[in-house]
Amino acid sequence: MPQDAPSTRWDTSYEWKIILILSLTFGLVGLDRFILPVLFPTFMAELGLSYADLGNLVGILAVFWGLSAFAMGFLSDRVGRRKVLIPAVIIFSLMSAFSGLAGGLVALLLIRAVMGLAEGPVASIGVAVAVEASHPKRRGMNNGIFQCMISLMGNAIGPIIATQLLLVTDWRTVFMLVGVPGLIMAAAMFFVVREPAPAATASAHVARPSFADLFRHRNVPLAMLTLMCAMGGVFVLAAMAPSYLTDYLKLSPQDMGFVFSAVGFGGAIGQFAMPTVSDFIGRKLATLFSYILAAVFTYLFAHTGTDSLGTLFWLLFFASLFNFSALAILAGPVAAEAAPVGMVASVAGLVIGAGEIFGGGAAPAIAGQIAGSSGIQNVFTFTIGSLVLGFVVALFLKETAPRKTGGV
């Protein structure tokens, strides 16, 4: 049975083991979450669905993800990480498999809602567990490793695997197959994940911070606002790009899978590299830099035709790299470094939850309406506007990187 982490020395062995397990698990979250838009063109006609339905399916998961990221993160700060995290991994894995049994829109909406409830805690509690296991000067890097796997497995490897599997089986079987690995990771967590050491939680002699105390640091409301914009860019791309590539640019499913995998490869590198860079140049500068370049490359991608799949791939690659890097910095180290002692999961959940509800929930639904009324090619104008607004809000962030402030 796992024991509490030792407080007398830094347990580097546990640090790397837990980052590995968290990273693989968060990668499966990405696979289960983002495989639906990739498969959507395949079952859209069979189930009688529209672009608006796609936006709603992406959105409902994000809304419930956002709500549970805060609620379950807040709960885990009180009852412990393991009691919340491990059941959540089991449930989202089962919901992925159940997606293959859905017979229509209502069933898919219900399954995606429950999946969102289970995946949200993996994000917020995962940030807390990663922070608690990491040496302060490796906080940005380790959060980057953890968060990048959602892109690598969800948007890079996932689309390629899913579209190739469609050559030998149907979409229902693909959904069922991707649910199995999560159950294995839940078992690994049972044996490895520890509760935080007493020094990482509120002292018994100090009153636990109240809900209002979560907003004491100005970066908390600012990160909530600007993360809405980053997630608006990320999830509109993830939801609409597959259909844009197949329906508007007329790519085959396999060519679409290749081009769309750029979202994952670029996002994974961005989520790892830029939080690591932010350990050295600061959270604020890295975030601003990310927003500017994400908007530029999204514009270029939206104005490129099908003459070269390679060009489409690389433009989408860099648009995703910088968009996901802004998300990772804000949801990880910025949120963690603004949290009161013992409330990292609560603050991470609060920031992630706000971003998910608008950026992951409302933004894809709005984009779905834009696609249905004026054409799917017009959704990228909305994405670029979201990124520009995020840049403006991020100008007011306070720097918290330990190397820049001299603290730990």
Q: 202 pLDDT exceeds 70?
A: no
Q: Identify the weakest region by mean pLDDT among 169-178, 205-214, 252-261.
A: 205-214
Mean pLDDT of the residues in the chain: 85
Dist CA 127 CA 184 (whole Å): 21
Using one digit for the tens of pLDDT, what is the confidence trace for 35-61? 888 888 888 888 988 888 888 888 888
What local confidence, expressed as pLDDT, does residue 289 receive?
95
Helix pair 309-329, 253-281: axis angle to 10 deg: 40
What local confidence, expressed as pLDDT, does residue 110 receive?
95
Dist CA 347 CA 223 (whole Å): 10
Higher-pLDDT residue of 29 and 408 is 29
Q: How far apart are the first and last CA of the chain?
A: 31
Higher-pLDDT residue of 213 and 68 is 68
Reported as a pLDDT band with limits 50, 70 and 90, residue 338 is confident
Using one digit for the tens of pLDDT, what is the confidence trace for 1-23? 444 444 446 778 888 888 999 99
Q: What percent of the chain has pLDDT over 70?
A: 94
Reported as a pLDDT band with limits 50, 70 and 90, residue 339 is confident
What local confidence, expressed as pLDDT, does residue 197 receive?
65
- At the top level of CATH, which class does the domain 13-197+213-405 belong to? mainly alpha
Name the token pair of 214.
């979560």
Buried b (16+ CB within 10 A) or exposed e, 314-332: bbbbbbbbbbbbbbbbbbb
Higher-pLDDT residue of 284 and 11 is 284
What local confidence, expressed as pLDDT, does residue 208 receive?
67
Reported as a pLDDT band with limits 50, 70 and 90, residue 95 is very high
Q: 198 pLDDT exceeds 70?
A: no
Residue written as tokens 């909305």? 382
Dist CA 135 CA 286 (whole Å): 21
Dist CA 75 CA 106 (whole Å): 30
Dist CA 221 CA 200 (whole Å): 23
**Which amino acid is present at 126?**
G
Dist CA 187 CA 329 (whole Å): 29
Q: Which candidate, 144, 89, 115, places its Cα nearest to that of 33?
A: 115
Reported as a pLDDT band with limits 50, 70 and 90, residue 201 is very low
Q: Identify the weakest region by mean pLDDT among 36-45, 134-143, 172-181, 250-259.
A: 134-143
Higher-pLDDT residue of 179 and 114 is 114
The backbone region for 302, taken as left when phi is positive above 0, alpha when psi lies in -120 to 50, beta otherwise, is alpha
Cα–chain center distance at 224: 14
Q: Which candidate, 29, 106, 98, 28, places its Cα nearest to that of 69?
A: 29
Cβ–Cβ < 8 Å for 371, 240: yes
Dist CA 68 CA 335 (whole Å): 17
What local confidence, expressed as pLDDT, does residue 323 receive?
93
- Domain assignments of the chain as residue spans, ordered by start: 13-197+213-405
Higher-pLDDT residue of 385 and 362 is 385
Using one digit for the tens of pLDDT, what is the confidence trace for 58-78? 888 888 988 898 888 888 888
Count of all residues that appear for the chain in the document:
408
Dist CA 359 CA 35 (whole Å): 18
Residue-by-residue DSSP string for 335-372? HHHTSPTT-HHHHHHHHHHHHIIIIIIIHHHHHHHHHH
Reported as a pLDDT band with limits 50, 70 and 90, residue 390 is very high
Reported as a pLDDT band with limits 50, 70 and 90, residue 187 is very high
What local confidence, expressed as pLDDT, does residue 224 receive?
92
Name the token pair of 137.
């000067």
CB-count burial class (<10 Å; 0-12, 13-18, 19+) for 244: buried
Buried b (16+ CB within 10 A) or exposed e, 88-116: bbbbbbbbbbbbbebeeeeebbebbbbbb
What local confidence, expressed as pLDDT, does residue 106 receive?
93
Using one digit for the tens of pLDDT, what is the confidence trace for 348-384? 888 888 888 887 778 888 888 888 888 888 899 999 9
Dist CA 171 CA 187 (whole Å): 27
Q: 200 pLDDT exceeds 70?
A: no
Higher-pLDDT residue of 313 and 208 is 313
Dist CA 351 CA 143 (whole Å): 15
When pLDDT is averaged across residues 244-263 and rounded to a whole number, the result is 87
